[in-house]
A and B are shown apart, each in its own frame.
Chain A
Amino acid sequence: MAAEMEPPPLGNAGETDFRELEDGEDLFVSTVTTLEYPEPSSPEPASLPAEDISINSNGPKQKDVSFDDDPEDLFAEATEEVSLDSPEREPILSDGPSPAITPVTPTTMLTPRMDLGAADMFERSLDEIEEDNNGDTFDIHIAVSDPEKVGDGMNAYMGYKVTTKTSMTIFNKNETTVRRRFSDFLGLHSKLASKYLHIGYIVPPAPEKSIVGMTKVKVGKEDLSSAEFVEKRRSALERYLMRTVKHPVLLKDPDVIMFLESSELPRAVSTQALSGAGILRMVNKAADAVNKMTIKMNESDAWFEEKHQQFENLDLQLRKLHASVESLVCHRKELSVNTASFAKSAAMLGNSEDHTALSRALSQLAEVEEKIDRLHQDQAYADFYLFSELLGDYVRLITAVKSVFDQRMKTWSKWQDTQLLLQKKRESEAKLQFANKPDKLQQAKDEIKEEIEELEGKVEQGEKDFELISKTIRKEVSRFEKERVKDFKAVIIKYLESLVQTQQQLIKYWEAFLPEAKAIA
């Protein structure tokens, strides 16, 4: 019954239903099988229940592809369809009667089938998708490397090599290498955010743009600071990708997979800061901020209240910590510079000292200090890449978490608004009963009845949406917290190990110097 088929990738779960599921009952029952996208082995592409999804979508554009049997083709076609411009994408929730509705059949409609392997994702609730990776254990490693400047002048950009090594079956090959530029990453994030944020998934934020940093690189400044900038960015991009694929749902998103595997990617023009889409984004952000202030939600669930507060506190402290660590990095770099300078000075002093043994000792001191200077540099590097960048990442991640909470509020608000509208319509209906114009009456009555039915459906849907997003957020938060704990524990240990190494080296250097000092006669 599916007129148009939707590419089945799990990740698109969010997009599928753009239409109110009027004939929703049928939706998933008829679904045939499997396509664990893009398993070539799978027989049929999943017959997508949702009809005309692509056509009337106001929301995130789906890959409007005529679904072919061949998954490979999907890619090819998909590239064209992927909306480069889609300004409509961003303001999904600002639309009034936005069709952004529950992605997957709420579990109430469908008994979750524990089919493994080739289970159609639309048949399963998202619960299962996350718990069961088709028997695949999470095994994927992404490296971003080899930054290379492409082009010249203000149109130049940095290209990065993205290498994916995996044994997971959702990927075509065990190892893929592609070249991507920064705007590609931003484009990926933009797509993921538009698909998943509004249904409660915490989408890892992409690294920040830096006009100053990039301009230096474009202009061709081959100095230390641009090299540092490129390295900082490379590392950030790598972390971004790894975080994204660690999310069980995002990992299977076709956009993600395409990003990692496809050799050519359409340019994500809409990510440019000054593009039309960019400006629209900014306007919408402002609108959102205003809306946020005006929505007063009756929080019936203490869990959300508590978590919200917790994240506020965490945000505050992490920012503070981040600032202190940045200051430490700065001072350590300063210390390194000053130590090097002192080392030179001590060497000069040793040269002019006319007592031979003392002169030699002073030269040795200069050497020790030089080595210590390099030690400080290395430590500053560790301070930064281990500690400071992690904190920066989490500050941004928490912003994403907070926005997900906001989405929930919006969902609630929409539901309430629909309810109010329904109420008004009912009142109008009641009024009509007592109207005095019989000829118009019947027609008006019918109209209103239709509208009321429609609204009742919407209200029901609104409630379901709200419940679903609440449920999703709970899961997401719990997953986020687990990741956070793992990340911080790992980084803290690595950082302490770097400190241990520094001290061990220091001991070596001073132990070597001590006999020299004692030898001064």
Chain B
Amino acid sequence: MMPRAVNVDLQTDATLQVDISDALSERDKVKFTVHTKSTLPNFKQNEFSVVRQHEEFIWLHDSFVENEEYAGYIIPPAPPRPDFDASREKLQKLGEGEGSMTKEEFTKMKQELEAEYLAIFKKTVAMHEVFLCRVAAHPVLRKDLNFHVFLEYNQDLSVRGKNKREKMEDFFKNVVKSADGVLVAGVKDVDDFFEHEKTFLLEYHNRVKDASAKSDRMIRSHKSAADDINRIASTLYTLGTQDSTDVCKFFLKVSELFEKTRKIEARVAADEDLKLADLLKYYLRESQAAKDLLYRRGRALVDYENANKALDKARAKNKDVLQAETSQQVCCQKFEKISESAKQELIDFKTRRVAAFRKNLVELAELELKHAKGNLQLLQSCLGVLKGDT
């Protein structure tokens, strides 16, 4: 099963190409087949595949975040957990309500839900793939050892999910981090570029969040409307078969029409989901990763400034000066290293973002046009038949 094309535009080159060539959904687990093609010497073979689960992706992501060396990079956001709960619940409800609808209706709804399940499945595959591709495209991260192990080691990485205590620890860490983040953000930056990026990212992130939520709601309403049209088509069909008058032809023709237009409406909703909602969700996560980078830099700056102050104090007192000097130098280097790479990362982020939005908005408009034209053609041809009839 080939996953859908990624929705983020990335340059991949021949030295390292990663994709998810297959995926299997088993109960509540999804097993991804990660396929690698590489000319790099580090790998034993030029082409190989392994099977990975969601937790292993998370492990890889977390290892990047925790690595001090990567503090100056935007860490590609982790893919969201595969969530089939809603879909499964709907399938269950359908099963329970089987008695209350006709056989045709039941089969139709079942097909609908199965298609929905499949769509969610494809999406989760795409998102896991995008994560890997981002890592593979990054000049530094692609060399990471854990990454290579992830790609190559054909046994289970024995990465267990976090237990309750670890999850609690994470939660507290996040609380501390955001409190600290506020403090750090308060420190005015000397560098205009970063000061601007800080303000920009904060506002952007919030607005993307809002747009993402609103687009989700809009798309859900669209799907509900398509479902209604489905039911209307079924009832019209029954009416058409029961009716003994002239109008039965109308009912049957319109029922047929609505069956087709409903499918188009459903696809419109699905495409909007893919091109718009997913795009916004992805940039929600990326902008958060960018914010995290700024936070790390800010933290390093504060540490550097504190180290400077400590050094001055030490010099004044003429006590532990060497220690203070080393400490200050370490902080300085750390800060400068982060600053250097951060600038480039943020510029790349903008380039990627613009390219991704462009691609998706163009594709969205093209698909909307295609579907509207399809709808129009169906409607007009049906009208032609019906008008000719009367």
Contacts and interface: CB of A to CB of B under 8 A. Distances in A.
Given A321-B239, A497-B383, A492 B225 contact: no
Interface string A482-508: 001100110011001101100110110
B207 A348 contact: yes
A493 B372 contact: no
Contact of B229 (A328, A334, A365, A513): A328
Contacts of B372: 503, 506-507, 510
B245 A496 contact: no
Contacts, number: 159
Interface stretch (B41-49, B132-140, B356-364): B356-364
B365 A513 contact: yes
A335 B222 contact: yes
The SS class assigned to the A binding surface is helix
A317 B354 contact: no
B379 A496 contact: yes
B223 to A, nearest CB: 9
A496 B217 contact: no
Interface string B352-390: 011001100110111011001101100110110011001
A321 B232 contact: yes
B274 interface: no
A358 interface: yes
B233 to A, nearest CB: 9
A345 interface: yes
Interface in B21-55: none
Nearest to A498: B379
B94 to A, nearest CB: 17
Nearest to B246: A485
Interface stretch (A51-59, A77-85, A165-173, A349-357): A349-357
A275 interface: no
A514 B366 contact: yes
B8 to A, nearest CB: 15
Interface stretch (B68-76, B150-158, B208-216): B208-216
Contacts of A484: 245, 247
Nearest to B362: A517
Contacts of B362: 514, 517-518
A259 to B, nearest CB: 31
B203 A352 contact: yes
A485 B245 contact: yes
Contacts of B354: 355, 357-358, 520
A221 interface: no
Interface stretch (A60-68, A187-195, A233-241, A336-344): A336-344
B221 to A, nearest CB: 4
Given A324-B235, A339-B218, A520-B361, 4 more contacts: A321-B239, A485-B245, A492-B254, A506-B368
Interface of A: 310, 313-314, 317-318, 320-321, 324-325, 327-328, 331-332, 334-335, 338-339, 341-342, 344-346, 348-349, 351-355, 357-358, 361-362, 365, 481, 484-485, 488-489, 492-493, 496-497, 499-500, 503-504, 506-507, 510-511, 513-514, 517-518, 520
18 contacts: A314-B242, A324-B235, A328-B232, A331-B221, A342-B215, A342-B217, A348-B210, A349-B211, A352-B200, A352-B207, A361-B361, A481-B245, A485-B245, A489-B386, A492-B250, A496-B257, A499-B379, A520-B361
